[in-house]
Amino acid sequence: MAETNRYDISYGKARVPVYRIYARPLVGITPIPESSFTGRENTLFALEVDVEVFGDNFLSSYTEGDNTSVVATDSMKNFVLRQALAYQGATIEGFLDLLGNSFLDTYAQMERLRLTGRALPFSPAPVPLDTDVSRTPGTFASSTVLFSRSHDDYATAVLEFARAANGPTLTAHRCGLVGMQLLKVTGSSFTHFVRDSYTTLPERVDRPLFIYLDVFWNYGDATAMLAADASQYVAAEQVRDLIGVVFHQFVSESIQHLVHEMGQRMLARFPQISEVTFQAQNHTPDPAGVSPEDERVKVYTDPFSAYGLIQLTIRRGE
């Protein structure tokens, strides 16, 4: 019976935390009108890494308890940390590329590999320029040594590798910005939708709109993502700023309408992108009261826990 079975197997190490001090600064980013971001110091380059290994060479460890080909996941963790010290680049994608090639060069039994990186965001803490803090008010600047952990949105990337005749090859990739939460108090509508016996939602010509938003993108040519020259690199900081500007400026008829406009703007600003995907959740608050003196003054509360889910992928035409 067992001999007729077919198997798909993988194993690896999840959420390996990496805190690299004084990585190479990210410089040379091409400016866009929606963002002031052109680079970062990378004094603290922090991320967590998932390693997932594929290959039939590990099947005997499942079927026979034979671990002679198994690379311990603890060894994978140490491998990631050792490579982080050696890394000479400035981006998550570049670090994952180094890892992918190094893993396959080191361990012949690994056939394919999927690596995921998630930034651990830290922001420079504001500190007084005057070392005598007894004098007030003072002038403040961003610290170059003290950072505050942020639990807001974060950049992410997934790179996949396989063996080829000429060595390890990047076979797929996806970059992203995950966990944005944006609330616009006016300038959004939702009207003229289907009404029937199940409909209780009123039409809203102008409403506050609260969305959770993840955005992902792919490069047409991955060399633009990995080049030492960062002029074609798409920084998550620029994407965040662009998304915010579009949301601020655009009067939308729905979340669908809004994410389409965001996608069009991204494709226009970043010609190196071949595809952009949005995953949006509607967390728009419910109205609870209006001031009798000023109709602009309103109170809202959180809606029912279920939320609308809107997804869109736009692929660049030929």
The DSSP code for 2 is G
Contact 283, 211 (CB under 8 A): yes
Q: For residue 53, what are the contacts with CB-CB under 8 A and spacing of at least 6?
A: 10, 11, 12, 71, 76, 103, 110, 112, 113
Q: Point out the catalytic residue in the list 30, 38, 43, 73.
A: 73
The reply to whether omega before 271 is within 30° of 0 (cis) is no
> Is residue 73 among the annotated active site residues?
yes
> Is residue 298 among the annotated active site residues?
no
Cite the DSSP H helix spans in 110-235.
Answer: 223-226
**How far is the C-alpha of 139 from the C-alpha of 178, rounded, in Å?**
34
E-assigned strand segments in 193-293:
204-219, 273-282, 286-290
Which run of H or E residues covers position 22?
none
Q: Is 300 helix (H, G, I), strand (E, B) or coil?
A: strand
Catalytic residues: 13, 73
